[in-house]
Amino acid sequence: MNNKNFNLEEKDIYKLFNHIKLEESEFNDMNGEVDEMQKERIKKNLNKKIKNKNNLKMFKRGSVAAAAALIGIMAIGTVSPALAQNIPVLSSITQTLNDRLGLGGNYVEYSQIINKSITDKGITLTINEVLADDSKLVIGYTVKSDKELKEFHGIGLSRFLKVNGKQNGGHGSSYGENIDAYTYVGNEEFHTNLPKTSDKFNIDLNVDEIMDTKGSWKFAFSVSKEELTKNSKIFKPVNKIDFPDSTVTIDKVVLSPIDTSIFLSGKDKYKKEPNGGSMFDYDYWIAFDDAGVELIPKSLGGGSHDTKTGIFQIEMQYAKSKNIPKYLTIVPCKITPSGGGSVSVDKDGKETYTAIKGKKPVEVSQVMDGVYPKELPQGSMGKIIINDVKNEKDKTIVKFTAVGKAPYFQATELHIKDNKGEFVTPKSYNLHRNGQKPNEFTLELPLLDSSKKYTIYTNDLSNIEFREDLKFKIELNQ
Pair 376, 404: CB distance under 8 Å: no
- Whole-angstrom distance, CA of residue 435 vs CA of residue 413: 20
Q: 122 pairs with which residues across the strands?
A: none
Q: What is the DSSP letter of 272?
A: P
Quick one: 92-231 is in which CATH superfamily? bacillus anthracis domain (2.60.40.1630)
Q: For the domain 233-358+467-475, what is the CATH superfamily, name and number?
A: Conserved domain protein. (2.60.40.1640)
Rounded Cα–Cα distance for residues 200 and 280 (Å): 34
Taking the C-alpha atoms of residue 380 and residue 247, their distance in angstroms, rounded to an integer, is 27
Q: What does the buried/exposed string (b/e) look like for 383-408 if buried means 16 or more CB atoms within 10 Å of the residue's CB? A: bbbbeebeeeeeebebbbbbebbbbb
Within 10 A of 230 (CB to CB), how many other CB atoms are there?
Answer: 9
- Beta-bridged to residue 466, according to DSSP, are 333
**Cα–Cα dist 473/237, whole Å:** 10
- The CA-based diameter of the chain, rounded to the nearest angstrom, is 74
Each of the 478 residues of the chain gets a pLDDT tens digit; together they read 444 344 333 333 333 333 333 333 333 334 434 444 444 434 434 443 333 333 222 222 222 222 222 332 222 222 223 333 333 434 588 888 888 777 778 888 888 899 999 999 999 999 999 999 888 899 999 999 999 888 888 888 888 988 888 877 667 778 788 888 999 999 998 887 777 778 899 999 999 999 889 999 999 999 999 999 999 999 999 899 999 888 999 999 999 999 999 999 999 887 666 555 577 888 899 999 999 999 999 888 777 888 788 888 898 999 988 889 999 999 999 988 876 666 666 667 677 777 767 788 999 999 999 999 999 999 999 999 999 999 988 899 999 999 999 999 999 999 999 988 899 988 766 688 888 899 999 999 999 998 899 999 999 999 999 999 999 999 998 6
Asked if 92-231 and 233-358+467-475 have one fold, the answer is yes
Of the candidates 54, 55, 75, 65, the residue with the CA atom closest to the CA atom of residue 26: 65
> What CA–CA distance (Å, rounded) separates 356 from 346?
19
Domain boundaries, the chain: 1-84, 92-231, 233-358+467-475, 363-462
Neighbours of 237 (CB within 10 A): 17
CB 445 within 8 A of CB 416: yes
Which class would CATH give 363-462?
Answer: mainly beta
Residue type present at position 71: I
Three-class DSSP category at 461: coil
Is it true that the peptide bond before 297 is cis, omega within 30 degrees of 0? no
Distances 389 to 102, 109, 369, 442 between C-alpha atoms, Å: 21, 37, 10, 10
Instruction: Decide if 163 contacts 205 (C-beta within 8 A).
Output: no
Say what the pLDDT of residue 353 is. Answer: 74
